[in-house]
Amino acid sequence: MNKPAKSPKWMTAEEAVAAIDDGMQIGFPHLSAEPRALTSALWQRAEALNEITVVSGMLLSGYKFLMGPVASKIRFKTWFMPGTLLRKTTGDVKAEYLPLTYAQIARYLNEVPMDVALVQVSPADENGYHSLGLTCTTSKPMIERAKLVIAQVNPNVPRTLGDSLVHSSQFDILVDAPEELLEYPSRDIEEIDDVIGCQVAELIPDGATLSFGVGGIPASAARALIKAGRKDLHFINTFTDPVMELIEAGCACEENPKGHIGDIFGTKALYEWVADNPAIELADALTTHTPEAFVKRKTVYSVNSALEVDLLGQVNAETIGNKQSGAMGGLVDFAVGGQVEGGQFILGLRSQTNSGKPRIVAKLDGDIVSLSRTFVETVVTEYGIAHLRNKSVYERAIALAAIAHPDDRAALLEVAESLR
């Protein structure tokens, strides 16, 4: 939807959000792209209203606005439940979960009416174009769909390439508000994740199009790929510090761009690295996460995680104790992509939680199945790799039990025998 060009007005954050009224739906980008000067002003504005609806994803800034008195004024819809980051305080947070894959998030934001969009951009260039910097999947459709678009202009936002540029005429209000970008530092790699990550890396060939999630296992896999001297890799989905390190180590394809990325989040060093870097182009999830995109690329290898897998191969990536805690993210999208000839969907997880609860189980904890058994073909724990493709129900159960924690295997094998 092409909106008519206009001349934006400069205001303070408080003046800008004064236009927000009861019953409005407001959207803003997630992760490192959250425009905190605007969202802080929004929470203050909400105190004077009866109810507004807010739409966003994972918020690295936290969810205090859903824990205080203003929470009663805000209806929060999200595709990443607060429990993804704040599992211990999830019970105090009221949020409505949108059970969407990444591709569906892009479609949702292109279809759902939005009264106000709050976004964060770089200063304009000499031709009047701002860069969205760290996200394309969320900001771009919000700008195109919203009746009122308010942009926080932040000089710390890197000027990224690809589908990232927006002309100032597409904004109604501009707010000059410099602030440090939210960081998501890579976690220290623990020995158990290193074992899993090294096995995952063995599955990824030269020339693969690679999607990494976040956490110790993908970081370890990246390190193992560098050590193995893997070459000609291309990257899609999210862009984090380990992916930057793979490119810097010479593991990527020679031509640019080396990655088509929807979201960038990590350290300050990462944000400085992506600025004006032709190796990276922003692209939304309809370009990277759809069946059409996977067929075009053919060699998509994705490294994913989950909360638990049962002996049938069903995956739970969302609930703990039947309570919504996590989210699907790109899990289902990449499971579909793994069915395209030349690609592979890899599920890597520890055999037990930190408290000793098994992650390979006889029955899922709760009623939600995030991913059907049909799509689960490769599961990796610290005890090995279960190759499930072309196996019967019984054979799949035996293979999964074999990579469970030794303390859990006997009980799992007993259940597996009942499936013969």
User: For residue 257, is the peptide bond before it cis, meaning its omega torsion is within 30 degrees of 0?
Assistant: yes
Q: 316 burial class (0-12, 13-18, 19+ CB within 10 angstroms)?
A: buried
Structure tokens at 343: 């690609």
Tokens 């054979």 map to which residue?
395
Q: What are phi and psi of 3, to 5 degrees?
A: -90, 150
Q: Which residues of 133-158 are buried (b: 16+ CB within 10 A; e: fewer)?
A: bbbbbbbbbbbbbbebbbbbbbeebb
Q: pLDDT 10s digit of each residue in the chain, 420 long? A: 556 667 899 999 999 999 999 999 999 999 999 999 999 999 999 999 999 999 999 999 989 898 888 999 999 999 998 866 545 544 567 899 999 999 999 999 999 999 999 999 999 999 999 999 999 989 999 999 999 999 999 999 999 999 999 999 999 999 999 999 999 877 778 899 999 999 999 999 999 999 988 888 999 999 999 999 999 999 999 999 999 999 999 999 999 999 999 999 999 999 999 999 999 999 999 999 999 999 999 899 999 999 999 999 999 999 888 888 888 899 999 999 999 999 999 999 999 999 999 999 999 988 899 999 999 999 999 999 999 999 999 999 999 999 999 999 999 999 999 998
Contacts of 114 (CB under 8 A, 6+ apart): 25, 26, 27, 55, 142, 145, 146, 147
| Encoded tokens for 273 | 């690295």
The answer to whether residues 350 and 196 touch, using CB atoms and an 8 Å cutoff, is yes
All structural domains of the chain, each given as residue ranges with its CATH number in brackets, are: 9-176 (3.40.1080.10), 191-417 (3.40.1080.20)
Q: Are 133 and 159 contacting, i.e. CB atoms less than 8 angstroms apart?
A: yes
Largest CA-CA distance found in the chain, in angstroms, rounded: 70
